[in-house]
Amino acid sequence: MTQQEPSPRLPSQLTPQKLIIASRESRLAMWQAEHVRDRLAALYPDCQISILGMTTRGDQILDRTLSKVGGKGLFVKELEVAMAEGRADLAVHSLKDVPMDLPEGFELAAVLEREDPRDAFVSNDYASLADLPPGAVVGTSSLRRQALIAARYPQLVIKPLRGNLDTRLGKLDRGEYAAIILAAAGLIRLGLPQRIRAVLDPGHSLPAAGQGAMAIEVASGARSDGVDLQAILAPLNHADTRHAVLAERKVSKIFGGSCQIPLAAHATVDGARMHLRAMVATPDGTRSAFAELSGPSGQPELLGEQVSALLEQQDAQAILAVCKQDAAADA
């Protein structure tokens, strides 16, 4: 799991003198941008690397669930505008927040090695979901987490929880929730692993496509001074993680791809083989479809298509129709 792509050994005149990284300003986003900055600084010691912090619409709108205000694109659009205008060269994202289809003219130059992809149970008073008394309030705004919890623990009450990690932990600590569910990766990166009371078994709480992975987005083609950003960033790519997330994102894309439906997709890679598991459900968790398959690591998108076909055979379309009705009733 730790091999990196071979370094491209760029001719020295093509290594950049200056790189600007666009990032959201949340503590997690900044940690991730600094991580990329430090890795690039080690590769290109003569390059001056800075971080341009930005606020996105996704950070500003905190009173509605993401699925209602337009989905994942809200976290990346401003960063793409900065790249298109030449104010930044690359953007660092949590891959989970990156839409399945990037706008024309942008691509993912690197997918970094994945951190723990699992969901984490976080609480000051309880050790696990199973410990919560009936009626206890659990915070999450993820439809996937909501459906998975409702299916196994229908006696719990799920309430929306938005905002960056510090905001969410603050709401838990003020007693607004008995427990909250967060990605383990974010807590680990922020140096808060002690907040994790239990990691949820992926067999019960299958992770979201891309969870725990970071990606670097660039504008396609060479920079105006001829610097090939793709080649510059290639050494940061982690091949196994890229293959896993390509398979996961294929499933997301086939099922309509944003926060609108409860959908999980998680792949593991073992050398030349990979295994993909995926699930779709109704938001109340009462109906769900699950499928899994193994295949060659070199054809992740094919595996994604095959697993999606298995889900469809299990009536996934009927589940999605229920979700769409819910969405229409909300509107």
Ligand X SMILES: NCc1[nH]cc(CCC(=O)O)c1CC(=O)O
Looking at 182, 216, 254, 303, which residue binds ligand X (CB under 6 A)? 182
| Residue 36 interacting with ligand X (CB under 6 A) | no
Signed CA dihedral, 32, 123, 61, 151: sign only: positive
Q: Which is nearer to ligand X, 184 or 227 (CB)?
A: 184
| Residue 94 interacting with ligand X (CB under 6 A) | yes
Q: Of the residues 59, 97, 228, 240, which is catalytic?
A: 97
Q: Looking at 91-99, 147-155, 223-231, 237-245, which segment touches ligand X (CB under 6 A)? A: 91-99
- Using only the alpha carbons of the chain, give its radius of gyration: 20
Looking at 183, 276, 319, 320, which residue binds ligand X (CB under 6 A)? 183
Backbone angles phi, psi at 122, to 5 degrees: -125, 125
User: Nearest distance from residue 29's CB to ligand X, in Å?
Assistant: 9
Site string for ligand X, 51-90 (x = CB under 6 A): ----------------------------------------
Rounded to the nearest 10°, the torsion over CA 64, 65, 70, 73 is 120
| Residue 122 interacting with ligand X (CB under 6 A) | no
Q: Cα separations (Å) of 158 from 101, 154, 287, 301?
A: 30, 10, 17, 34
Q: Which is nearer to ligand X, 96 or 243 (CB)?
A: 96
Site string for ligand X, 141-180 (x = CB under 6 A): ----------------------------------------
| Residue 96 interacting with ligand X (CB under 6 A) | yes
| Residue 186 interacting with ligand X (CB under 6 A) | yes
Whether 97 sits among the annotated catalytic residues: the reply is: yes
Looking at 185, 198, 264, 307, which residue binds ligand X (CB under 6 A)? 185
Strand-pair category, 18-24 with 90-94 = parallel
| Residue 97 interacting with ligand X (CB under 6 A) | yes
| H/E segment holding residue 166 | helix 165-173
Q: Which is nearer to ligand X, 97 or 248 (CB)?
A: 97
Q: Cα separations (Å) of 192 from 126, 149, 186?
A: 17, 23, 8
User: Nearest distance from residue 80's CB to ligand X, in Å?
Assistant: 17
| Residue 118 interacting with ligand X (CB under 6 A) | no
- Pairwise CA distance, residues 155 & 238, whole Å: 41
Q: Which two tokens stand for residue 102?
A: 């990037």
Q: How many residues does the chain have?
A: 331
| Among the listed residues 95, 29, 91, 123, the one whose alpha carbon sits nearest the alpha carbon of residue 216 | 91
What 3-state class would DSSP assign to 219?
A: strand
Binding footprint of ligand X on the chain (CB under 6 A): 94, 96-97, 182-183, 185-186, 211-212
